[in-house]
Amino acid sequence: MKRADIVEAATRRAEAPSTETQSAQTLPWDILVIGGGASGLGTALEAASRGHRTLLLEAHDYAKGTSSRSTKLVHGGVRYLAQGNVSLVREALHERGLLRRNAPHLVRDLGFVIAAYTWWSAPFYGIGLKLYDLLAGKLNLRGSRYVGKVEALKLAPTLIRSGLRGGILYFDGQFDDSRLAVTLLRTLENHGGVALNHAPVVGLIKEGGKVVGARWRDRETGQEHEARARAVVNATGVFVDDVRRMDEPGSRPMLSPSQGVHVVVDRRFLPGDAALMVPRTDDGRVLFAVPWHDHVVIGTTDTPVPEVSLEPRALPEEIDFILSTAAKYLQPAPTRADVRSVYVGLRPLVRNEKTDGAGGTASSTAGLSRDHIIRIAGSGLITLTGGKWTTYRRMGEDTVNRAESVAGLPRRLSITQGLKLHAWTHDEMDDHWKVYGTDAARVQALPGADTPLHPELPYSEAEVRWAARMEQARTVEDVLSRRLRALLLNADASAQAAPRVAELLAEELGHDGAWQAAQVAEYQKLAGGYSLN
């Protein structure tokens, strides 16, 4: 669907009332969702799949923020088990199994090695991971087990050999976060929902003290529109407090955000079939080194931040911490010169009001809950925040249950536990094409399928055309950061590919040379923030 058609759908009014008792302002939408990340897309799909008329508005692009900058894991959270949060782990493991079943083209099983360098490490972590298996129940991926030194090195050949006694092998899920976001978008559309990116909400519509919709602006035309709805959901991640202040200017902040940094290096630093999990770093977190799209993602950190931004930046000490921790386990160890990209995600952690005071930043965020929270304002505004990608479906289910109650919508059963996501397939295909599922053949049939965008990137020109035609990509950044993962895999190479991507997008979307030049300059400036060179 062309953007003009989506904008028209987003601005449509309800049909004329069929009885005299109905108002001429009958609400066109049952549920309006603000925010196009994991929580917003999950909520919108949940609503649309139940038959509710659903509109989603995203200020920038789908998964622009935290939802494209995860550790790329669908997991229960081994660290949360160590903290004693059994209920959160059980729920996440259940959802991990559902997502693996509902989107096998996006989620795969991945083995993780916990290397043992002391006599007690293997039995200690082995017992905990057996509990992890048990909590997963029938949806467990594969059972954890002890591995000796030889097998550990076969799975992770670059582990430091000196003192290695063996380890524990356990399994979790791996995925591509922004590709899951795009897949949820397509699935939402398949169920009759309407979603629009680059459409920031600029204010809420209130009548009689109740929120009955929102005013939004089309970034491409500058025009403002209204969308009225029986229920309005604020699912804007780390920006939920901004929307809450549109409703109640004096609202105290809900969040104590923290940032997690990841570095991406070449596959040679972890060439085996498994990922590496360090169960306890110097700051008490876990560290992962995860094979992903023929590269390795290493992270993460947990640093409180005083304010949120669309493009957070890693602190030098965070990068040094990741690399120094990796050097304790990997040989050769990556250095700053080996880093292809650095990316940062912000966590929407819910404040502990008893300990954080009136401000929005906690002194430490490592211990804050990773559960999702739903709050209903006196105006009826529904705010969803917290949580993580693994539990996106459950967050959406819980939120729509509340929306039905708050707005008096018909109570309908959730079907998303068994809902196959768009382009579902079990067919085996190359890692690069697998994220497209059954759409892969259609992408490969487009012009430019055999023309690489850049010699150091796995992507083709056909994928840019597909992103523009079928996935609502509107900018060079939309394509190179989230429809393709070039920005995260190799920031410098992506910057070099930007001019050609701009040309292709201009051809597809009808833009001129000035637009191309502005897009290239804007993207190359952005990519510079992901590079250490």
- What are the DSSP calls for 412-429, one per residue? ----GGGPPPTT------
CA distance 282 to 50: 46
pLDDT tens across 500-519, in order?
A: 999 999 999 999 999 999 99
CB proximity list for 123: less than 8 A, separation 6 or greater: none
Residue 360: pLDDT band (50, 70, 90) is very low
Q: Is the same domain home to 124 and 269?
A: yes
Query: Is residue 402 located within the same domain as residue 462?
Result: no
CB 343 within 8 A of CB 264: yes
Q: How far apart are alpha carbons 68 and 199 in whole angstroms?
A: 19
**Domain endpoint, select from 318, 347, 376:** 347
Q: State how far the Cα of 184 lies from the Cα of 177, in Å rounded to an integer.
A: 11
Same domain, 191 and 287: no
pLDDT recorded at residue 126: 96
User: How many Cα neighbours within 13 Å face the side chain of 413?
Assistant: 4
Residue 49: its pLDDT value, please? 98
Q: Does a structural domain hold residue 72?
A: no
Q: Which two tokens stand for residue 466?
A: 């597909």
- Does residue 503 sit within a domain? yes
Query: Per residue in 158-180, pLDDT tens?
Result: 999 999 999 999 999 999 999 99
Sign of CA dihedral 477, 481, 483, 485: positive
504 touches 519 (CB < 8 A)? no
| Residue-level pLDDT at 283 | 78
Q: Are residues 261 and 333 in the same domain?
A: yes
Please state the separation of Cα 178 from the chain's center in Å.
6
Q: Looking up tokens 């087990």, which residue turns up?
A: 145
Query: Is 362 in a helix, a strand, or coil?
Result: coil
Query: 491-509 and 461-470 helices cross at what angle (nearest 10)?
Result: 50
Cis peptide before 279 (omega within 30 of 0): no
17 pLDDT band (50/70/90 cuts)?
very low
219 and 153: one domain?
Answer: no
DSSP 8-state class, residue 310? S
**CB-based contacts of 439, cutoff 8 Å, min separation 6:** 422, 423, 466, 470
Beta strand 107-116 with 275-278 is parallel
For residue 303, whether the previous peptide bond is cis, meaning omega lies within 30 degrees of 0, is no
7 plus 62 within the same structural domain: yes
* Residue at 124 is within a domain: yes
Give domain status of residue 265, yes or no: yes
Distances (CA, A) of 354 to 31, 259, 363, 368, 387: 33, 22, 13, 12, 20
pLDDT of residue 84: 80
CA distance 74 to 522: 32
The rounded distance, in Å, linking the Cα atoms of 404 and 419 is 20
Same domain, 278 and 238: no
State the residue range of the domain holding 456. 445-528
How far apart CA 499 and CA 505 sit, in angstroms, is 10
Q: Is residue 163 part of a domain?
A: yes
Same domain? 40 vs 18: yes
- Domain for residue 99, yes or no? no
Residue 189 sits in a domain whose CATH number is: 3.50.50.60
Residue 122: give its domain's CATH number.
Answer: 3.30.9.10
d(CA 449, CA 3): 24
Q: What is the pLDDT of residue 131?
A: 95
What span, in angstroms and rounded, lies between the C-alpha atoms of 126 and 425?
34
In a domain, 533, yes or no: no
| Element of type H or E holding 110 | strand 107-116
Range 78-93 average pLDDT? 87
Contact 313, 278 (CB under 8 A): no
Residue 448 CB coordination number (10 Å): 16
Q: How confident is the model at residue 295 (pLDDT cuts 50, 70, 90)?
A: very high
Q: What is the mean pLDDT of residues 354-381?
A: 67
Is there a domain that residue 501 lies in? yes
Share of the chain above pLDDT 90, in %: 87
| pLDDT at residue 15 greater than cutoff 60 | no
Same domain? 261 vs 157: yes
Q: Burial level of 377, CB count in 10 A (0-12/13-18/19+)? A: middle
| Digit-coded pLDDT (tens) for 176-235 | 999 999 999 999 999 999 999 999 999 999 999 999 999 999 999 999 999 999 999 999
Domain count across the chain: 3
The DSSP output letter for 333 is P
Q: Which residue has the higher pLDDT, 439 or 10?
A: 439
**pLDDT band at residue 361 using 50, 70 and 90 as cut-offs:** very low
Instruction: Say yes or no to pLDDT of 321 above 60.
Output: yes
pLDDT of 351 above 90: no
Specify whether 263 is located in the same domain as 321.
yes
Domain identity same for 160 and 269: yes
**What mean pLDDT is reported for the chain?**
93
Same-domain status, 340 and 324? yes
Q: What is the pLDDT of residue 368?
A: 53
- Please tell me the distance from the alpha carbon of residue 110 to that of residue 144, in angstroms, as a whole number: 12
The pLDDT score that the predictor gives to residue 28 is 86
pLDDT, one tens digit per residue, over 393-433 is 999 999 999 999 999 999 999 999 999 999 999 998 988 99
Tens-place pLDDT, residues 263-294? 999 999 999 999 999 998 887 889 999 999 99
Span 347-368, mean pLDDT? 59
The residue that leads in pLDDT, 365 or 42, is 42
Domain boundary among 285, 314, 347: 347
